[in-house]
Amino acid sequence: AMGIEDAHLDEYGYVYATIPANTEKQVPVICFCSHMDTSPDCSGAGVKPIIHRNYDGSPIVLPDDPSQVLSPENHPHLKDQIGNDIITASGTTLLGADNKAGLAEIMDAAHFFMTHPEVKHGAIRILFTPDEEIGRGVDKVDMEKLGADFGYTVDGEQRGSLEDETFSADAVVITIHGVSAHPGFAKGKLESAVKAGAELLARLPKDRLSPETTGGRQGFIHPLSFEGMVEKATLQFIIRDFETPKLKEYEDLLRRLLDEVMQAYPNSHVEFKVIEQYRNMKEVLDKYPQVVEYAEEAIRRAGLRPIKSSIRGGTDGSRLSFMGLPCPNIFAGEHAFHSKQEWVSVQDMEKAVETIIHLCRIWEERS
């Protein structure tokens, strides 16, 4: 209905589309990317969105669970939203603004370009991905088909924010193979993999290197899951830091702690597997400074102050950057994501649309 002729869903669940260039200039092909999935941390089934119009600064009580209350004390950015229209869920699910807000903003910008041919721009590629929240958002992206030179994910928080740095990330899977025996006759024989795993977790630092004790640019070791029985137990960790070499330092620490624990289990053995997840996109973006500079200018043209920051996490752009598509993250306006108190402002979404439009115009102007 919008007039985009090549929009399609591929076999892996990715959506591709093109807004054709309408300028005679040779302009780099720019991609805008958002993800369709929502976080598994909170239910996304049966979402009932509510628009709280002309927000007056008072607490917002979500009707389906009155214990869910959004207040400016717990959500400081609400203080900047007086008079705006706030969208929430009803209290029993997340909203899904992460990242459906980005999808809506890209679609609105696409509609603008398709209905305003007088606004000059180069070719614009649209990419919607699945599985971002489980770290597989770009596993099956066809980079040749995408055919873009530079990209932007639209998956950020505060209006005006621009993120050009992410964590570097590994996963570690530890498998402990214990020795099983009948508990009534286990003396001197049984070596419990469950107990060994529990001892490893107990040895992790209590006052540092964990999500709950770090902030800013500090990294961490985070146990995600622990399951097993006497004979076999599996522990999964995520390892994060802005400096890629520190990942190995944390992994070596985890390995040393494991070796210490296993000294008490001489007949057991372990597997220690490191899986690379993504790397800090700043390592790539610093080679293409115009990608971030143009985004800052677009934010200013939308009447906002650019707020450059680092993400204590990752985006599809982290991996896309290392797949040949330098790709910082611009704001979508989503807040309190992965929770029942997730919210977004209509007016912030409108500013995100304006930013996308200005960004495309800037690339055309400076080509």
Rounded to an integer, what distance in angstroms lies between the CA atom of residue 80 and that of residue 88?
16
Residue 192 has pLDDT above 90, yes or no: yes
CATH 3.40.630.10 domain locations along the chain? 8-166+280-365
pLDDT at 118: 97
Question: What is the chain's mean pLDDT, rounded?
Answer: 96
Burial of residue 264 (CB within 10 Å: 0-12, 13-18, 19+) is: exposed
pLDDT > 90: what percent of the chain?
A: 95
Catalytic residue among 37, 131, 191, 334: 37
pLDDT > 70: what percent of the chain?
A: 100
Q: Catalytic site residue 165?
A: no
Confidence of residue 135 (pLDDT cuts 50, 70, 90): confident
Q: Catalytic site residue 164?
A: no
Q: Are 363 and 121 in contact (CB under 8 A)?
A: yes
Rounded to an integer, what distance in angstroms lies between the CA atom of residue 18 and that of residue 126?
6
CATH number of 168-277: 3.30.70.360
Confidence of residue 204 (pLDDT cuts 50, 70, 90): very high
Please provide the DSSP assignment of 1-55 as one string: ----SS-EE-TTS-EEEEE---SSS----EEEEEE----TTS--TT---EEE-S-
Q: Which residues contact 19 (CB under 8 A, 6 or more apart)?
A: 4, 110, 113, 114, 121, 123, 124, 126
Confidence of residue 1 (pLDDT cuts 50, 70, 90): low
* Superfamily of structural domain 8-166+280-365: Zn peptidases (3.40.630.10)
CATH 3.30.70.360 domain locations along the chain? 168-277
Of residues 331, 293, 294, 292, the one with CA closest to residue 311: 331
pLDDT digits over 4-52, tens only?
999 999 999 999 999 999 999 999 999 999 999 999 999 999 999 999 9
pLDDT digits over 109-127, tens only?
999 999 999 999 999 999 9
Residue 137 has pLDDT above 80, yes or no: yes
- Can you name the residues that pair with 17 across neighbouring β-strands? 126
Catalytic residue among 131, 132, 170, 191: 132
Of residues 274, 269, 275, 273, the one with CA closest to residue 176: 269
pLDDT digits over 219-266, tens only?
999 999 999 999 999 999 999 999 999 999 999 999 999 999 999 999
